[in-house]
Chains A and B, each alone.
Chain A
Amino acid sequence: MVGAACAFYCADAGLRVTVLERASVAGGTTSAGEGNILVSDKEAGAELDLALLSIRLWRELGDRIGAGQLELQPKGGVVVAQTPEAAAGLAALTARQRALGVEVTDVSQAELPELEPNLTRRACSGAWYPQDMQVQPMLAAAELLRQARAMGASVRTRTEVTGFRRDAGGALAGVDTESGPLTARWVINAAGTWGGEVAALAGAPVPVLPRRGFILVTEPLPVVVRHKVYTADYVASVASSDAGLETSVVVEGTRAGTVLIGASRERVGFDRQVSLTVLRTLAAQAIGLFPFLAETVLLRSYLGFRPYCPDHLPVIGADPRVPGLVHACGHEGAGIGLAAATGRLIAQSLTGAATDLDLTPFRPDRFTPEPARAAAQPGGTA
């Protein structure tokens, strides 16, 4: 998705773009995404700024391409606090977010059933975020690529980058692939959970690591969950650096009628083995929030690997260590939602336009302490 967004915005800005995908369209991290476009789960800081920008851009993409084409649903999010402590924490969070421009309304226990009739009556309180949206990640990524192609971009699937080419001065001159070299002024590393591998190949390491997550998919149902619903401990789970299993409840319906249930986070490398322990935990927690789910049939489950950086912020922008190398990865579980802003910021930075946000918090070299290093310049370097 991030690569597709970069291709779209760069092509839109008049740049000549080639997308290299080693497998299939939207086949990597994106294919396991849930489709979250959220401001609700962001604490104050650079990520919230990015999210607010991205939400606005996703709406524009919906208007421009057609919300139906993307299955973009401005359904809004409901956060539920299940204990008095969580309720207090949630109220404090919404106050902070409101002060920074997030639209949010506190919801009392009595008002929750009006928002979600099938929600447990045992919840303490909630918060309503009208800005939260849902998109079908694979469709949206494929559509963005299609639009990019219509603007002159070319997309090459089953084409793996095997190396990076430098010019005499050490700047990037392009890439090597199995079907031959490609010259380019800039190379954007939007390789999701494999962004770290690609960065290492380019000689500019970036610590992107996988954080495994499972999603349960139910049988198709009529609309039984109206919004994106999750529990107030989700924010803490995302921000945690714990290596063990972290779970929180995330439940929402889809256009197709299935209900998606998450969310788990584990640091187990790229282990694709299904963990029944995780599936059982997700099921039990989801039933706690929506009791009717006990009698709902599980259709399938899938897993994916979120690309995370140690400080839980993505890497966006030019890499001062290798002129011409640009990164757009490490978005952890927010890649779908933050893709639009990322793509736009990258396109701005490559064309020398002023970026809508300061990219300093996302700079690729922030992990390696180097003496007297100048801050990365937003413009492209030749």
Chain B
Amino acid sequence: MPASPAEHAPDGSAGIAAYDVAVLGAGPAGLAASTAAARAGARTALVDLAARVGGQYWRHREGDSGAGHHHWPALRGLRDAAGGHDRLDFLPGLAVWHVERTPGGFTVHATAAQETAGRQAREIRCRALVVATGAYDRQLPFPGWTLPGVYTAGGTQALLKGHGVTVGQRVAVAGTGPFLLPVATALARAGATVAGVFEAGSPAGFRRHPAAIAGRPGPLIEGAGYLATLARHRIPYRTRTTVVAAHGTDRVTAVTVARLDADWRVLPGTGQRLDCDAVAVGYGFTPQIEIPLQLGCATRLDADGSLVAAAGEDQRGSVPGVYLAGEVCGVGGAVLALVEGELAGLHAAWTTAGTRPRARALARLTRRRSALRAFAAGLHDAFPVRPGWMSWLAQDTQVCRCEEVSVAEVRRAVTELGATDARTVKLLARPGMGLCQGRVCGYATACLAASLRDQGGAPGEEDLRGLAARPVAQPVTLGQLAGQ
């Protein structure tokens, strides 16, 4: 590893590292951005919470052969590039809690993520910032979802790929979106019995985007491969069906699976009990945009109903010096993240190190980005969340896991206390006020608030913003804040 350029701090202050470009997040987007920027001559920092690169998509253990991963050669190449480049510092194990605009660029405030590392506060100065902080599973509450043994789909995958642990012996996989398939097949390959894959939607709608399909046969072939694996392991794949309740006393022992209509309302009488000892559930992804929000970047509502940071042609955010790549500017998968990351890195290097990107490279990347975005839009269209999901909630179902706020309490904030938006619901009934600060319950709370306010309306940008802004993005103690 090259020596940290702490000595180069422009203001001469000690212990504060200064770079041309700082990239937050070492998943596909961040790896692509940092390697592109460094190759283009920018002194680059790549910051991540984890001990190694890869993000969630390429979560792996030491010595992983890559057998269970996609585009593994791309990771290997980027990982080697990141490790070997003398203008690129990989800074692992850092929890970024706040980024502020300071003269000449930005200051990234972080603490050491692992407790034994002395919980040192770190500051990283940069002239341009690339935010590539990815996304996490989007959740829809259901009765019993707080039982131990219920995991997110992403968590199930992280435990398997990152720690070699299967979440249970007999797992029900449910939710919506193509991500359920790799989760189920990975579990099956690891020796778990997958009781079924329950897809709430009906992906036949994907046929509405023939252009996207023609340009991107890869994922379809991947999809067919997953389905073949499921068939080989005799794992049922059901559509218009999902887990609507989990049962057990101190851990999950069974779930109820039920059929849904086109609007995701539970069809009465179709509930079936299924024994299992673990559940993996996910309904798409929520981009992690608190840092763009801290900096004042504009947002927009994306096709999957997510609040994303708005990115321009050159991956710029609305705040000068901020670039965005990957899921933060629209959930679209790893390959799109690689393309956007490279574009962001090239542009960030251009404005700091002065290296002008080659026009042909830009054109190629821009074309790929358009095609991949069209494909992502098609996917979002095929796997939307439909408002009927709220029909499977009971009055005592917890919406907010942290503060244990029930559906009834959220309703009361609207119907009795006059809340008309998600932020007011949060301030009155407290969903989103706990440790996770609305990351898990934000989308569901916004759905409930909007639906109660507009008779079944979908959550708007204002609703989602009300639970998305976090001035403190990672835990930091008051002592660390005070600089003690």
Contacts and interface: CB of A to CB of B under 8 A. Distances in A.
Interface size class of A (residues with CB under 8 A): 35 or more
Contacts of A280: 481-483
Given A284-B483, A299-B472, A138 B478 contact: no
B456 interface: no
A284 to B, nearest CB: 4
Interface in A138-153: 138-139, 142-143, 145-146
A253 B434 CA distance: 15
Contacts, number: 104
Contacts of B420: 24-25, 157-158
Contacts of A155: 418
A298 B472 contact: yes
B100 A24 contact: no
A146 B484 contact: no
Interface in B420-477: 420-421, 423-424, 427-428, 430, 433-435, 437, 470-472, 475-477
Given A155-B418, A157-B418, A299 B483 contact: no
Interface string A251-287: 0000010100100000000000110100110011011
B430 to A, nearest CB: 7
B433 A26 contact: no
A375 interface: no
B381 interface: no
Contacts of B435: 219-220, 299
Contacts of B403: 256
A296 interface: yes
Interface residues on B, range: 20 to 34
Given A146-B416, A279-B481, A284-B482, A138 B434 contact: no
Contacts of B479: 283, 287, 293-295
B291 to A, nearest CB: 12
A158 B420 CA distance: 9
B4 interface: no
B411 interface: no
A274 B424 CA distance: 21
B327 to A, nearest CB: 23
Contacts of A139: 417, 428
B417 A146 contact: yes
A31 interface: yes
A218 B478 contact: yes
A92 interface: no
Contacts of B424: 24-27, 31, 138
B195 interface: no
Contacts of B120: none
B294 interface: yes
A183 interface: no
B98 A274 contact: yes
Nearest to A303: B471
A295 B482 CA distance: 11
A287 B419 contact: no
Given A24-B423, A27-B424, A294 B484 contact: yes
A158 to B, nearest CB: 7
B124 to A, nearest CB: 14
Contacts of A297: 475-478
Interface string A138-176: 110011011000000001011000000000000000000
Given A24-B423, A284-B483, A216 B478 contact: yes
Nearest to B470: A300
Interface in A162-216: 216
Task: Report which residue of B294, B433, B482, B484 has the largest number of chain A beta carbons within 10 angstroms of its beta carbon.
Answer: B482
Given A220-B434, A299-B472, A300-B470, A286 B478 contact: yes
A301 interface: yes
A296 B482 contact: no
B238 interface: no
B109 interface: yes
Contacts of A273: 296
Given A24-B420, A146-B416, A256-B403, A300 B471 contact: yes
Contacts of B483: 280, 284
A26 B417 CA distance: 10
B410 to A, nearest CB: 14
A72 to B, nearest CB: 15
Contacts of A157: 418, 420
Given A24-B421, A276-B100, A299-B472, A138 B484 contact: no
Given A25-B424, A298-B472, A143 B478 contact: no
Contact of B100 (A138, A145, A274, A301): A274
Nearest to A300: B472
Contacts of B419: 24-25, 142
B322 to A, nearest CB: 15
A25 B433 contact: no
A139 to B, nearest CB: 6
B106 to A, nearest CB: 12
A122 B421 CA distance: 46
Contact of B418 (A25, A294, A295, A298): A25
A216 B427 CA distance: 15
A276 B476 contact: no
Given A25-B424, A256-B433, A300-B471, A293 B478 contact: yes
A286 B478 CA distance: 9
Given A145-B418, A146-B417, A301 B472 contact: yes
Contacts of A142: 413, 417-419, 428
A257 to B, nearest CB: 9
Contact of B294 (A27, A274, A284): A274
A298 B473 CA distance: 10
A221 to B, nearest CB: 12
A299 B470 CA distance: 9
B472 A287 contact: no
Contacts of B417: 25, 139, 142-143, 145-146
Of listed A145, A158, A283, residue having the most chain B CB within 10 A: A283
16 contacts: A24-B419, A24-B424, A25-B417, A25-B418, A25-B419, A27-B423, A142-B418, A220-B434, A274-B294, A274-B471, A280-B481, A286-B478, A294-B484, A295-B477, A298-B475, A300-B437
Interface of B: 98, 100, 109, 294, 296, 403, 413, 416-421, 423-424, 427-428, 430, 433-435, 437, 470-472, 475-479, 481-484
Closest 9 CB pairs of A and B: A294-B479, A284-B482, A142-B417, A283-B482, A25-B418, A283-B478, A283-B481, A24-B424, A297-B475
Given A284-B482, A295-B479, 8 more contacts: A24-B419, A31-B424, A139-B428, A142-B419, A155-B418, A287-B484, A294-B484, A296-B478
